[in-house]
């Protein structure tokens, strides 16, 4: 609770003088309906008054450029799309989008489809028909990632061609086209013609998280605002929120098109030595899975706060990087809390960015078990 209060105090400290688009973009992971206990999340658990844009994840892409419904039972039989779009009845200003892609989709099919003018056009037309059929207000491209993970070096150019065509087809219908993008300067080098993205997308959701994880073999923050003192190499100094946003702007993005991503979860580790529990401590194994998300090395904010309520975790404020981490025994997690999120929102205001995005709504404390409901999302709204 003290972090929530401190975060709200920042509202008065920084004020509202800076001009910023007040987008609050909320991704919804539709598979959360299968979680158990306090983690079980239905579409009706979303508070649509806390978001300006809601994005339903995910659909996939077939080799013939048709749109693939991944979970037809939830999405169609149980009327997931219909119920999601009905949230606009509770917030008439809300815009809803459907996202295609995600990590599990990979890159190979996307690379193949965009490499050919005929299938590119088919993809755009199929996306338009899908959006209009199911009542969405736009289409979000979450290709992870052009030119990587089975893609081709030509993806960077072809993705730009795709976006030009999306804008040409969607704009006359008043529909949005957005994308979720890798955050770092290296991701830009491999995947994105930034001026083309900035010109043709309504806004760009920058995934400024997953900057550190168990793949590093040492503890590190999921989404630090700044570099750590020990991070002295150019590659290390790219992996923080400020460096990522600066890279996008320096490469030609209009700041007002950039939406700063906040991860509503932490990256967790199993320490090699429980006594060595700071930043950059050896940790060759992922942290234990949370009770709801059940994914080693990743744990939702709702799970983190519940664990801290029930067990004696040590919480440390990492002041150089402006984010917290916590440890208990050989378990370690770097995450965001309301205080660190408030600092990020105010950074977005200082840079005159286009808003703030969360991944994802169902791992906030949506039940209010640790305090007020939706502490992360509420902090964003209070500080924008």
Sketch the domain layout of the chain as residue ranges: 2-262+337-383
Q: What is the reported pLDDT for 11?
A: 45
pLDDT confidence of residue 19: 38
311 is catalytic: no
Domain covering 2-262+337-383: architecture: Alpha-Beta Barrel (3.20)
Predicted pLDDT at 347: 99
Q: Mind listing the pLDDT tens digit for each residue in 132-175?
A: 999 999 999 999 999 999 999 999 999 999 999 999 999 999 99
* % of residues, the chain, pLDDT over 70: 95
* Predicted TM-score of the model (pTM): 0.95
Q: Mean pLDDT in the chain? A: 96
Residue 16 has pLDDT above 60, yes or no: no
What pLDDT is stored for residue 384 in this prediction?
Answer: 93
pLDDT in tens, 164-222: 999 999 999 999 999 999 999 999 999 999 999 999 999 999 999 999 999 999 999 99
Cα angle 115-119-121, degrees, rounded to a multiple of 5: 110
Q: How far apart are CA 256 and CA 318, in angstroms?
A: 29
258 pLDDT higher than 50: yes
Catalytic residue among 44, 108, 144, 238: 144
């Amino acid at each position: 609770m003290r972090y929530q209060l401190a975060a709200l105090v920042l509202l008065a400290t920084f004020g509202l003088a800076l001009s910023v688009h007040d987008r609050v973009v909320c991704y919804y992971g539709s598979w959360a309906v299968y979680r158990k206990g306090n983690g079980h999340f239905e579409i009706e658990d979303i508070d649509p008054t806390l978001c300006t844009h809601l994005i339903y994840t995910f659909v996939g892409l077939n080799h013939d450029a048709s749109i693939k419904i991944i979970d037809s039972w939830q999405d169609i039989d149980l009327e997931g799309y219909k119920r999601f779009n009905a949230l606009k009845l509770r917030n008439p200003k809300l815009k809803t989008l459907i996202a295609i892609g995600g990590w599990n989709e990979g890159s190979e099919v996307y690379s193949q489809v965009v490499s050919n003018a005929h299938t590119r056009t088919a993809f755009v037309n199929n996306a338009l028909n899908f959006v209009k059929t199911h009542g969405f207000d736009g289409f979000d491209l979450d290709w992870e990632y052009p030119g990587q993970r089975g893609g081709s070096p030509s993806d960077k150019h072809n993705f730009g061609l795709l976006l030009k065509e999306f804008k040409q087809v969607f704009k006359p219908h008043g529909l949005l086209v957005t994308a979720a993008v890798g955050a770092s300067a290296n991701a830009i080098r491999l995947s994105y013609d930034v001026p083309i993205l900035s010109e043709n997308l309504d806004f760009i959701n920058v995934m400024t998280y997953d900057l550190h994880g168990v793949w590093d073999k040492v503890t590190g923050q999921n989404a630090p605002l700044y570099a750590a003192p020990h991070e002295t190499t150019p590659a290390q100094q790219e992996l923080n929120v400020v460096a990522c946003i600066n890279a996008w702007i320096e490469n030609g993005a209009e700041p007002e098109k950039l939406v700063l991503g906040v991860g509503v979860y932490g990256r967790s580790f199993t320490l090699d030595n429980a006594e060595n529990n700071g930043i950059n401590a050896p940790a060759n194994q992922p942290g234990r899975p949370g009770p709801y998300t059940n994914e080693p090395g990743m744990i939702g904010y709702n799970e983190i706060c519940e664990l801290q309520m029930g067990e004696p975790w040590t919480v440390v404020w990492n002041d150089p990087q402006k984010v917290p981490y916590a440890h208990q025994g050989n378990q370690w997690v770097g995450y965001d809390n309301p205080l660190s999120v408030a600092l990020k929102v105010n950074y977005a205001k200082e840079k005159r960015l286009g808003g703030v995005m969360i991944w994802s709504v169902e791992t906030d404390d949506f039940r209010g078990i640790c305090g007020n409901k939706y502490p992360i999302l509420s902090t964003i709204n209070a500080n924008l």
